[in-house]
Amino acid sequence: MAWSHETLAGTIRGRVIDSLDAIPLYGATIRIEGMQLGARSNADGNFSIQAIKPGNYRLLISYVGYKSVNISVAIPTDNSTVNITISLLRKDVNSNAIIVSAGKRTQSIQEVPVSVALLDQQSIQQRNVNRIDEVLRYVSGVNVARDQVSIRGSSGFALGIGSRVALLLDGFPMLSADNGDMKFDALPMPEIQRVEVVKGAGSALYGTGALGGVVSLFTRTPADTARIMIRSYAGVYTQPAFDQWVVHDAPPPLYGLDISYSQRFDNLEFTLLGGTRYDKSYRLTDQSRRYNAFSKISYTFDEHARTTLTGIINVAHEDKGDWVFWNSLDSATRPPTSSNPDRMTLSSKAMMGFNLRHLFNDNGILNIRSGIFLTDFDNYNLLPNEEAVASNAQSFNSEIQYSRSLFSDVFLTTGLNVIVNRVEAPIYGTKQQRFISGYAQTEIKPGIEGLIMTIGGRVDHEQTEDADQHFVISPKIAGSWIAPFGVQFRASVGRGFRAATVAERYAALRFQGITVQPNLSIRPEYSISYEVGASTALPLSESADMLLMDIAVFNNAMDDLVEPSFTVTGNVQFLNVTAARVRGIEIGLRTQLSNGFGIETSLTYMDPVDLTLNQTLPYRSSILWYSRLSIPIFEHIQFQTDYRYLSRVELIDARIAALGFIADADARVAIHVCDMRLIMNMQSMIGTPLTLTLNAKNVFDYYYSEIMGNLAPNRQLSIQGEILL
Amino acid sequence: MLSSQTYMNDRITIFFALLLLLISCSEGLAPPEPEAKVGPGLLRGTIIYVGGKDNWMHAPDSVIAVRAAGFTTYPLPDSAGIVNELLEGRAIISGFQSLPLFVDSASFEIPIQKPPMTLQYFAIAQQTSTDLNDQTIIGVYSDKPNFAPLPITIGSGDTVNIRIMVDFKNLPPQPF
């Protein structure tokens, strides 16, 4: 590491580079120790921390895959600028990654006492994805079925209602007020810079919905220089191998365009993003057209950079066919005969929020966050007397969080949270659900080198009109210890819960032969997550080559699980039906080699048991195995392949097959999906700031289903170009 | 060290190549194999009553029985000629016993003794009086909003599954 000074005016400016080849490091974290001030390096490796009082400071510079360094910096009394260059040595990934969501504050991943998967900008960008589920499908222990995320077996099949995983965008909750589900198309993917997946019950900090874990998305922080990104893709689904499944005269196309602009001007940062997508789909009546826009504006008020106000607006609109399930396995790309092929769904989502962050002189941090997430959907092109499924819902969320060090070895995070969900639907009128919550978490360093204990809990009061109110207490105790021999050990016990959504309580809809009946007496569902884990990094050579290893043993005990249940009359009703237990082991290996070659693999084995019926918990795979290989072919061309294996779901609800609502509901196989891509960096090859990617998803055209009566996408070929100015 | 790294890279590449070979040999979902074309055929159906059993209140007056019936000729003769069609083997029904009434759904099976048979019109009929000739068509096998009938062919040894929606609030046109 080397650094040098020259004085200018009141600011620390610098550049972070790789010690071996001097390439700039994009996204390195620079923090002033003890002050909660910091910055991230931009695409040129540059960073700037402004308005710092004169004095002596210690900077901590971290970057994924590199050794963290501490350096001393003196700000002269004339408020000069200090310029530094920091060269980082490559090391291992685990020791330097920064995690925000696990403890609702910035901390090193090694201090986090639960399993966390971190996907940084590079790994997101390289996968060439347009939806967040395409990223999550390759996170160890995570399974995605349509718009439903399951972490370590937390969810099965729930008609897309009631996510057991919380979803946050820059800290703002993104579960809909009516169905409590995720809207993947509403997320500004091109601006997502990092994804954190916290595994296990997270209700001690996040309250309802965090039964199985938390997925947090963070958008990009603008750099001093303007960043203009134009990304476009176009491709086709290849025709299925079976004539019965061919429903289009030509391979159905898909294409999209995103344009974004971001820049920082002194105290003002802003980001604008707009995009559109079209997908004809490999199935009939499943086409979709989407539009989305995102804007984030952040202003730092005072000269000491202690008060920052950030506003976010994110909107998305979707016009899509009303696909529910197939006609039969023999005609798996067609909807059921007698369904209305012209029926369409219009769906709009909008999220608006602000975040006021103030740093007090005693280094306490006050975060005030308030936002609203609006969702609206309705059907059109209906037949006479055909019933529309429509809903208009608003989720208001306000939170005040205060964090500070009480003593040198104790850190406190505390907050209050109010959520109001208001739903207006023709089938059940207007309903309101309200949560009032308080939480506190203390992190203590009890004097043993490397040991951090975490104790906390949250109290939630939930009230939905016409229904019983519920008090829920979600405690948590956890610890992490970085042993002197370089292994991080962690252990945690925490409680999670999810209150039933408005849709689960009041839904009284009828669609394609399925009648859903309301249930006002439904109770929240609970989980208790136990986990013990360890991680370390082993050197593979005398250079920076490393093998990163992580192992976790977990046991998630769940009770009062709300499942869509087929009653004896054939109707569906959401009931508290099941006590369950999912225990298992998760092993992750990842190489980091200096020649660009890389492999990562994760294996999750689970034993999901329905304790009520003493049988396997339905709709769960017991083995998840995800692997990835990166091979540099030439200097500027890289080949990547991802392989995803999920063992055959052992059990589905036999009543569904028996009642005949979904033909061939029991058609299921193990999932083997292989994606391949060739990434060509044209900037390095011809001097144009263009990255071209040739994508082949499900390259072996493997046919499978992730949920009953739905054939998953077959092979998709596409080309994507991204220009970065 | 470089040579050992190259050695390891080669091993990883070979591992992945074998993995991909394994995947390419795996079998996924496929349409059901056609069964041997011998013996009688079977028409198996599910009737879904839109709105569930609550909507039976909108059914035509006097619910005496409900049956599934198919005809090899279309347009149909008048209702009195239906019995003749049955006797001549140009029509099939789910039985003289009624299918379950006031339910959300019902299923039926009709053996096809003389395949192949192409049914030009397949419908669900509600008997509205004690006279067997008093029938009202309440559902038609169709993929069109206007209930244009969709033919069904049952070959030797074939089992054909169909689904018919019955919406008492939106009855199909009567064929006779």
What 3-state class would DSSP assign to B80?
helix
Asked if residue B93 has pLDDT above 90, the reply is no
What count of residues does chain B have? 176
The pLDDT of residue A555 is 96
Question: In the prediction, which pLDDT does A686 show?
Answer: 79
Exposed, middle or buried: residue A348 (CB in 10 Å: 0-12, 13-18, 19+)?
middle
Inter-CA distances, A67 with A40, A60, A95, A451, Å: 16, 11, 8, 20
Which alpha helices (DSSP H) does A394-489 contain, by range?
none
Confidence band, pLDDT 50/70/90 cuts, at residue A230: very high
Q: Please answer yes or no on whether B52 and A569 come within 8 Å at the CB atom.
A: yes
Which among A329, A331, A293 has a CA at the least distance from the CA of A312?
A293
**Other CB atoms within 10 A of residue B144 CB:** 12
Q: What is the rounded distance in angstroms from the CA atom of residue A265 to the CA atom of residue A279?
A: 38
Residue B171 lies in a domain: no
Q: Is A670 on the interface with B (CB under 8 A)?
A: yes
The total number of structural domains in chain B stands at 1
Q: B170, A643: Cβ pair inside 8 Å?
A: no
Q: Is the pLDDT of residue B7 over 70?
A: no
B115, part of any domain: yes
Span A583-599, average pLDDT: 84
pLDDT of residue B2: 43
What SS3 state is found at A706? coil
Among A400-409, A596-605, A713-722, B129-138, name the one with the lowest average pLDDT. Answer: B129-138
| Average pLDDT rounded to a whole number, residues A505-530 | 79
3-state secondary structure A624-664: EEEEEEEEEEECCEEEEEEEEEECCCCCCCHHHHHHCCCCC
- Structural domain range at position B135: 41-166
Vertex B54: Cα angle to B52 and B57 (nearest 5): 120
What confidence score (pLDDT) does residue B11 get? 64
Instruction: Give A327 or A24, the one with higher predicted confidence.
Output: A327
Nearest C-alpha in A relative to B172: A384
Average pLDDT of the segment spanning A488-514: 82
Residues of B within 8 A of A627 (CB-CB) are 16, 19
Question: pLDDT digits over A636-654, tens only?
Answer: 888 889 999 999 998 887 7
- Between the two ends of chain A, the Cα-to-Cα distance in Å is 30
> What integer pLDDT is reported at residue A568 of this predicted model?
58
What's the pLDDT score for residue A510?
Answer: 58
Q: Enter the DSSP assignment of A385.
A: T
Mutate to test the interface with B, among A244, A326, A327, A338 (most CBs of B within 10 A): A338
Q: What gap in Å lies between CA B122 and CA B110, rounded to an integer?
A: 12
Residue of B nearest to A700 (CA): B24
Residue A306 has pLDDT above 70, yes or no: no
Q: Residue A593 and residue B165: Cβ atoms within 8 Å?
A: no
pLDDT of res. A160? 72
Q: What is the pLDDT of residue A69?
A: 83
CA distance A100 to A90: 23
The answer to whether the CB of A20 falls within 8 A of the CB of A1 is no
Residue A222 · residue A228 · CB < 8 Å: no
Residue A110: the pLDDT is: 76
A257 burial class (0-12, 13-18, 19+ CB within 10 angstroms)?
Answer: middle
pLDDT bucket at A333, cuts 50 / 70 / 90? very high
Given a cut of 60, is residue B63 above it in pLDDT?
A: yes
Higher pLDDT, B131 or A56: A56
Tokens (6 digits) for A273:
């993003």
Which residues in chain A have their CB less than 8 angstroms from residue B104's CB?
A: 515, 569-571
Convert A392-404 into a string of H (helix), E (strand) and C (coil).
Answer: EEEEEEEEEEEEE
Interface subset of B 142-161, CB within 8 angstroms of A: 142-143, 145, 150, 161
A361 or A218, greater pLDDT? A218
Contacts within 8 Å (CB) and 24+ apart, A645-651: A645/A670, A645/A671, A645/A672, A646/A143, A646/A621, A646/A670, A646/A671, A647/A621, A647/A622, A647/A623, A648/A621, A649/A618, A649/A619, A649/A620, A649/A621, A650/A616, A650/A620, A650/A621, A650/A622, A651/A615, A651/A616, A651/A617, A651/A618, A651/A619
Band (A305; pLDDT cuts 50, 70, 90): low
Tell me the pLDDT tens digit for each residue of A59-108.
888 876 677 788 888 888 776 788 888 888 765 444 456 777 778 877 77
Specify the pLDDT at position A573: 80
Residue A702 has what pLDDT? 94
Q: Do B51 and A672 make contact, defined as CB atoms within 8 angstroms?
A: no
Neighbouring CB atoms inside 10 A of A243's CB total 8
Mean pLDDT, residues A604-610 taken together: 95
The pLDDT value given to residue A542: 62
pLDDT digits (tens, 9 = 90+) for A657-705: 666 667 888 889 999 999 999 988 887 777 778 889 999 999 999 999 9
Which amino acid would we find at residue A550? D
CB A242 within 8 A of CB A328: no
Closest CA to A499 of A560, A453, A441: A560
Q: Which distant-in-sequence residues (6+ apart) come within 8 Å of A598 by Cβ?
A: A590, A591, A592, A628, A629, A630
Domain presence at residue B118:
yes
Work out the end-to-end distance of chain B between its first and last CA atoms, rounded to an integer number of angstroms.
88
Tell me the average pLDDT of chain A: 86
CA angle A634, A637, A642 (to 5 degrees): 115
Q: Give A247-252's long-range contacts (Cβ < 8 A, gap of 24+).
A: A247/A282, A247/A283, A247/A284, A247/A333, A247/A334, A248/A280, A248/A282, A252/A280, A252/A281, A252/A282
For residue B8, tell me if it sits in a domain: no
State the count of interchain CB pairs (< 8 A) between A and B. 124
Q: Are B163 and A337 in contact (CB < 8 Å)? A: yes
Give the model's pLDDT for residue A662: 79
**Which of these ranges, A25-34, A170-179, A297-306, A406-415, has the smallest mean pLDDT?**
A297-306
Vertex A595 angle, CA A593 and A600, to 5°: 40
The answer to whether the beta carbons of residues B23 and A702 sit under 8 Å apart is: yes
- pLDDT band, residue A475 (cuts 50/70/90): very high
Asked if the Cβ–Cβ distance from B105 to A513 is below 8 Å, we say yes
The CA distance from B143 to B150, in Å, is: 7
A412-458 confidence digits (pLDDT tens): 999 999 999 999 988 778 999 999 999 999 999 888 888 999 999 99
Given CB atoms, is B107 within the 8 Å cutoff of chain A? yes
Segment among A180-189, A355-364, B163-172 with least mean pLDDT: A355-364
Q: How many CA atoms lie within 13 A of A133 on its CB side?
A: 15
Please give the share of chain A, as a percent, with pLDDT higher than 90.
42
ipTM of the complex: 0.72
> Distance from CA of residue A420 to its chain's centroid?
23
Cβ atoms of A677 and A128 closer than 8 Å: yes
Give all domains of chain A, ordered by start, each with its CATH number: 7-88 (2.60.40.1120), 98-724 (2.40.170.20)
Task: Compute the distance between CA of residue B83 and CA of residue B134 in angstroms, rounded to an integer.
Answer: 12
Q: How far is A180 from chain B (nearest CA, A)?
A: 25
